Amino acid sequence: MSSQKFKSSDISTSNQPRHELLLVAETVAREKGIDREDVILAMEQAIQKAAKAKYGMERDIRAFIDRATGEVNIQKCLTVVEEVQDPLIEITLTEAKERDPNTSVGDTIKEMLPPIEFGRVAAQSARQVIFQKVRDAERAQQFLEYKDRIGQIISGLVKRIEFGNVVMDLGRSEAVLRREDTIPRETFRIGDRTRVYIADVRPETRGPMVFLSRIHPQFMAKLFEQEVPEIYDGIIEIKAVARDPGSRAKLAVYTTDASIDPVGACVGMRGSRVQAVVTELQGEKVDIIPWSSNPATFVVNALAPAEVMKVVLDEENHRVDVVVEEEHLSLAIGRRGQNVRLASQLTGWNIDILTESEETARRTEEQTSRTKLFMEILDVDEIIGQLLAAEGFATIEEIAYVPLSEFATIEGFDEEISQELQKRALTYLEQREIKVREECKEMGLSQEVMDIDGLTSEMLLKLVKNGIKSLDDFADLAGDELLDIIGRSSLSLERANIMIMAARSHWFTDEQN
Cβ-count burial of 45 within 10 angstroms (0-12 exposed, 13-18 middle, 19+ buried)? Answer: middle
Round the average pLDDT of the chain to a whole number and report it. Answer: 83
Instruction: For the domain made up of 149-213, give the CATH fold.
Output: OB fold (Dihydrolipoamide Acetyltransferase, E2P) (2.40.50)
Percent of the chain with pLDDT over 70: 88
What is the average pLDDT across 218-239? 94
> Is residue 393 helix, strand or coil?
coil
Within 36-89, strands assigned E span: 61-65, 72-81
For residue 511, name the pLDDT band (cuts at 50, 70, 90). low
pLDDT over 90 at 98, yes or no: no
| Superfamily of chain region 3-142 | NusA, N-terminal domain (3.30.1480.10)
> Is the link from the previous residue into 208 a cis peptide, with omega within 30 of 0?
no
153 bridge partner residues: 197
pLDDT in tens, 284-316: 999 999 999 999 999 999 998 888 888 888 887
CA 89 centroid distance within chain: 51
Give the closest residue to 437 by CA, choosing from 454, 460, 453: 460
In DSSP terms, 197 is beta-bridged to: 153, 213
3-state secondary structure of 243: strand
Q: Which is higher by pLDDT, 14 or 392? A: 392
- The C-alpha atoms of residue 61 and residue 202 are separated, in whole angstroms, by 36
CA 452-458-461 angle, 5° bins: 80
Average pLDDT score over residue span 490-503? 85
Distances (CA, A) of 400 to 394, 404, 414, 457: 12, 10, 16, 16
Q: Which residues pair with 157 in a beta bridge?
A: 169, 193
CA atoms in the 13 A half-sphere facing the CB of 220: 33
Which positions ≥6 away from 30 have C-beta within 8 Å? none
Phi and psi at residue 38, to the nearest 5°: -65, -40
Does the fold of domain 149-213 match that of domain 3-142? no
* Spans of all domains in the chain: 3-142, 149-213, 446-512
Range 166-186 average pLDDT = 88
Residues in the chain: 513
Does the pLDDT value for residue 332 go beyond 70? yes
- Which helix (H) or strand (E) segment holds residue 200: the answer is strand 193-204
More confident residue, 380 or 173: 380
Was domain 446-512 assigned CATH 1.10.3470? no
Question: Which ranges in 148-237 belong to alpha helices (H)?
Answer: 217-227, 229-232
Query: 188-208: buried (b, 16+ CB within 10 Å) or exposed (e) per residue?
Result: eeeeeebebbbbebeeeeeeb
Categorize the per-residue pLDDT at 2 as very low, low, confident or very high, splitting at 50, 70 and 90. very low
- pLDDT at position 19 is 65
H helices then E strands: how many in the chain? 21, 15
DSSP H helices, 158-244, are 217-227, 229-232
The percent of residues above 90 in pLDDT, for the chain, comes to: 26
> Cβ contacts of residue 82 below 8 Å, gap of 6+?
92, 93, 105
Backbone angles phi and psi of 19, in degrees to 5: -70, -15
492 contacts 501 by C-beta, under 8 angstroms:
no
pLDDT at residue 217 tops 90:
yes
Question: Which of 433, 413, 412, 434 has the alpha carbon at shortest distance from 422?
Answer: 413
Helices (H), 281-335: 295-302, 329-333
Sign (positive/negative) of CA torsion 152, 153, 155, 161?
A: positive
Close Cβ partners of 448 (under 8 Å, ≥ 6 residues apart): 470, 471, 503
pLDDT beyond 50 at 13:
no
- The answer on pLDDT for 115 being more than 80 is no
